[in-house]
Chain A
């Protein structure tokens, strides 16, 4: 009989090993899923994880996509990880992402067709501020009324989706668009566009912002008192209380930063790869970033790697759809499975499996 014995300290080794094991387990389970769907599992896994980077035919197109897809995931996940560490569960990043995009795009469109270097920075500020404000709703409600932030932030995603539809259909609709829904294309408006900075890499301003966020979060958590308080509030709320940590400040900082970063991700997306506000702008990055945050062990560097890996499954998934006819939904299920395996294996970090009966103490 196998039973679990609690470790005195969480195992360092296992905390590094579990994400890798989870990825391998997901590949096996995913392979079985593809096999049930009637596809060659080895081919499918190769197409998802290998071909986007190294296939001679596709890599030149899909390699830059890696950074394009990873940047919003990393930006959002960095913000979420701060909250998850503190026990503040913002799961409405998708909504903050959408609102950030709307606010940023609205500022850019308000200036159209003026050309000025100041427009893009203003859009960045508006996007960040929009995401921040949207996240302040659950934060302030939690502080004032102790309302559950999980439910409020999540329900606000659906509100944001409706706002997005309204913006695309009426308020921000392109007046020269011939009645089609969707705003003007910001990519064709130089002052508001978020272009590829180095040709062929896919690196736009969002990638730069993601790298800055990683460094910033690393310093915050490793060197700053606030980072320590965030970790303390999550690990031992009572100890944090006695140590004089102000819970309200932690809630505002965690939700505010994650909203701000999600808003930034939305702005960079709408001004760059997406180009316009449209009904189907929301792309699930806000939810996938939850997986990225956990896969990266809530650690900034881990999130950087996890974001790249998750971006790879997106691109590989599209490739697999193209080449094998594997539906995109299968990739979503695949990503969900990854989180299951990760959480399941996490038990090894905190507990030691022991064979035999428990000793009577």
Chain B
């Protein structure tokens, strides 16, 4: 075993790359949950974004257009969820699961002809980092600012805390939530495309392998606070990179046990966060997961 082969600067750069997909998906889901909606379809939207972005980038030769395509693909899929839960008042947990199941099948279907194809390479800015890493941090900063200091953010939070009161004040609850869901879908799509275009970079079926679920866990870890999403994503990215480096360094732990560590650590973090009664209870949006029907 040779741990000296692990270079700290390279490690930090690869940590940022490893955490970006989850960071993007988690900040999108944070906005959705702040509006009072629980969308469990993050995994499905991510993988749809991964293939839409990949296909777009390969066909046009432009990674930037690929990312736009991914955001549109993720948002389009999330609008199915929005229609079902907001207009047809379906159960949010079940609909989110349906979104994930459908997204996995749908992406595999489109992806048939892209297996083994190489995507166009993205330009790097510094330390081998590409623009999307900074776009991700930028989205977090903007989300934080909008939620905290703007009228739009206040309305969004009001809808998430008490939809009946927000409705009585004249805000369009369904419309606001639909917009939040579409934003979440677009962010998840970007996260997925980051995997297929930059991090891996190629298309394989089911390539998100639980990243969407980890993003959901990170929103809980962050107690619905934007900057803590960054922290959570970096923590997770750090563990992923560390276990990959340990695998490469030839530690005497079987590869499979190292590969399961990110999932196990996510569970442990979830347990620690939910054990603290006061904090999670105070920060979770009060209407999370509840349907809104105007005549109620």
Q: Which residues of A contact B (CB under 8 A)?
A: 4-6, 84, 89, 91, 141, 144-148, 150-152, 154-159, 162-163, 165-166, 169-170, 287-288, 290-291, 294, 327, 329-337, 339-340, 343-344, 346-347, 350-351, 358
Contact = CB atoms under 8 A, between A and B. Distances in A.
A291 B101 contact: yes
B101 A335 contact: yes
A329 B295 contact: no
Q: Which of B98, B210, B254 has the most CB of A within 10 A?
A: B98
B205 A333 contact: no
A158 B112 contact: no
Contacts of B216: 151
Interface stretch (B7-15, B17-25, B88-96, B159-167): B88-96
Given A151-B217, A291-B101, A6 B260 contact: no
Contacts, number: 139
Contact of B213 (A155, A288, A331, A347): A155
B90 A333 contact: no
Contacts of A288: 101
Interface residues of B, number: 48
B37 to A, nearest CB: 15
A158 B102 contact: no
B233 interface: no
A166 B95 CA distance: 34
Q: Which of A144, A157, A287, A336 has the most CB of B within 10 A?
A: A336
Given A148-B270, A155-B217, A159-B263, A166 B256 contact: yes
A347 to B, nearest CB: 4
A156 B268 CA distance: 12
Nearest to B92: A343
Interface of B: 40, 80, 83-84, 88-91, 93-95, 97-98, 101-106, 108-109, 111-112, 205, 209-210, 213-214, 216-217, 220, 254, 256-257, 259-260, 263-264, 266-267, 270-271, 274-275, 277, 293, 295-296
Contacts of B111: 329
B103 A344 contact: no
18 contacts: A91-B97, A147-B271, A148-B270, A154-B210, A155-B210, A156-B263, A158-B263, A163-B260, A166-B257, A333-B106, A333-B108, A334-B105, A335-B105, A339-B101, A343-B90, A343-B95, A346-B88, A347-B89
Contact of A330 (B94, B109, B264): B109
Nearest to A87: B93
B80 A340 contact: yes
Given A145-B271, A148-B270, A343 B106 contact: no
